[in-house]
Amino acid sequence: MLLKCAVKNIKRSKLMSVLTVCEMTCAVVITLVMVSSVLIRFRNYTPFRDMFESKGLYCEFSSAANKDFYGENKAEDFLADDDILQFLHSPETIAACNIVSCGAQADNGLLEVNNFSFNDEIIRRFTPKLKSGRWLKESANADCIECVVSKNEYGWEKGSRVEIDLGGNKYTAQVVGVLEESAKLPGGFAVHSTGDDFNVFFNSYNYEIEQKPLLVFSSQYLQKLGAVQGLFSGCLITYPESVSQDQLKADQQTLARFGCAYSMALTDLDKNSKLYLYQHLYDMLPIIIVILVLAFVSSLSSSALTMRTRLKDYAVFCICGMRWKQCVLIELIRSAVLAAVSLVLSFAALSVVSKRFSISVVWSGISLVSIAVILLMFLLVSLAAPYFISKASTPKQLLGE
């Protein structure tokens, strides 16, 4: 009965209902797009947040780290992730990328590839965007040589087997996943400035630019097989809180001797990162507030107008036995129906917008909470006008006018 009355009210005020639905749909779509743009910025920061917030160093190695940097290097001289920690002042963890001395083979000989490996710290924390399959398992959980590949011309896909040569020993690697083109991976190189943030720790791998496919392995699994690996590109090294600035400076000099071309304190990197993250939020917030205010003012006006035009009808309903509060409830149901329609249209609009304009929409707990808050506020605002209008008069007074 109440739902039928609510639907009739919508039909009798078609123009206001359509305007309200359009404004609420725009409010939901724009809010979700803006929330997504903020969440996308946090996507790469969050997995390493505790490391960024720790005392430590961000380092970039211009060549594979080794013990005999200025001399003729032997295979055993190269230092892979954890190996370099023995030369530093009691570091706690390292999140590192290694270059691997590895050849991929086919029936017609060696194939041109790039080979990287990540240690367990990165594998556990971070999963890049994948076109298919899954990310690597930590070394202790893998029962074979796993690899993730980029786009390639060799026909490698999830489930493929790749013959590899590790220092003269032949092995078969199982492809467990395929990277999306231009997927971001830890281990960055950048043109540096005083405002460097966490983005310097990541690089996009693009097959069309590199002209070689990428094979990504677990460095600690390859280490068990005796593979030659050298610490390469960007890495994060964290220390206990007790470490002194003098010790950090001494370690920076030690790392420079092993091929570290650039380093900076993680405290500075994290400070710049938070400025980068929250500045975008501060820029978006006024726009979101203005859009929501306009949508809520519209819904308030629509509810007030509908309630006023139906007051005498509600007075008749009350004479026939309906309670005055139930009349207000009809307006609440009307608003709930409009909100439901707006939500459906919002999802449809987001689907079109994301495909047409290549806009990423991130679905997370924050996104869902944002939608819930918008709809709840819409219902509360829509209820306010009918409630106060009904309080200002009685059915007897309305019928006597």
Q: Where do the domains of the chain lie?
A: 2-44+277-400, 63-258
Confidence of residue 338 (pLDDT cuts 50, 70, 90): confident
Tell me the per-residue pLDDT of 250-279, one tens digit each, with 9 for 90 and over: 999 999 988 898 999 999 999 999 999 888
114 is written with which tokens? 């790039």
3-state secondary structure 329-353: HHHHHHHHHHHHHHHHHHHHHHHHH
pLDDT band at 294 (very low <50, low <70, confident <90, very high): confident
380 CB neighbour count, 10 Å cutoff? 13
Taking the C-alpha atoms of residue 312 and residue 317, their distance in angstroms, rounded to an integer, is 9
pLDDT in tens, 167-219: 888 999 999 999 999 999 998 777 777 789 999 999 999 998 888 999 999 99
Sequence-separated (6 or more) residues with CB below 8 Å from residue 37: 280, 284
d(CA 95, CA 57): 11
Mean of pLDDT values over 50-61: 95
Pairing of strands 183-186, 114-118: unpaired
Sequence-ordered alpha helix ranges (H) in 48-144: 49-52, 120-125
What value does the mean pLDDT of the chain take? Answer: 84
Q: In what order do the strands lie in the sheet with 55-61?
A: 93-95, 233-239, 55-61, 260-265
pLDDT at 336 over 80: yes
Report the distance separating Cα 97 and Cα 234, nearest Å.
Answer: 7
The pLDDT of residue 313 is above 80: no
DSSP 101: -
CA distance to 94, 215, 262, 326, per residue, from 259 (Å): 16, 23, 9, 76
What is the C-alpha to C-alpha distance for residues 222 and 166, in angstroms, rounded to an integer?
A: 9
Residue range 105-135, pLDDT digits in tens: 877 778 889 999 999 999 999 999 999 999 9
- The single-letter DSSP state of residue 82 is G
Q: Distance (Å, rounded) from C-alpha 28 to C-alpha 340?
A: 12
Name the CA radius of gyration of the chain, rounded.
30
Proportion of the chain above pLDDT 90, given as a percent = 39
Q: What is the pLDDT of residue 115?
A: 93
Average pLDDT over residues 277-282: 82
Amino acid at position 355, single letter: K
What's the CA gap between 288 and 275, in Å, rounded?
A: 20
Residue 156 has pLDDT above 90, yes or no: yes
167: left (phi over 0), alpha (psi -120 to 50) or beta: left
Q: Express each pLDDT in 76-93 by its tens digit.
A: 788 888 888 999 998 999
Tell me which H or E stretch contains 372: helix 365-391
More confident site: 74 or 227:
227
Using an 8 Å Cβ cutoff, are 66 and 79 in contact?
yes
For 212-229, how does the pLDDT look when each residue is reduced to its tens digit (9 = 90+)? Answer: 999 999 999 999 998 989
∠ CA(339), CA(327), CA(341), 5° rounding? 15
Task: State mean pLDDT over 221-245.
Answer: 92
Give which of 185, 178, 181, 180 is closest to 133, Cα–Cα. Answer: 178
CA 87 to chain centre: 35
Sign of CA dihedral 52, 57, 61, 62: positive
Helix (H, G, I), strand (E, B) or coil at 362: coil
Phi and psi at residue 80, to the nearest 5°? -105, 130
| Residue 82 structure tokens | 């954890």
Task: Identify the CA nearest to 360 among candidates 16, 22, 36.
Answer: 36
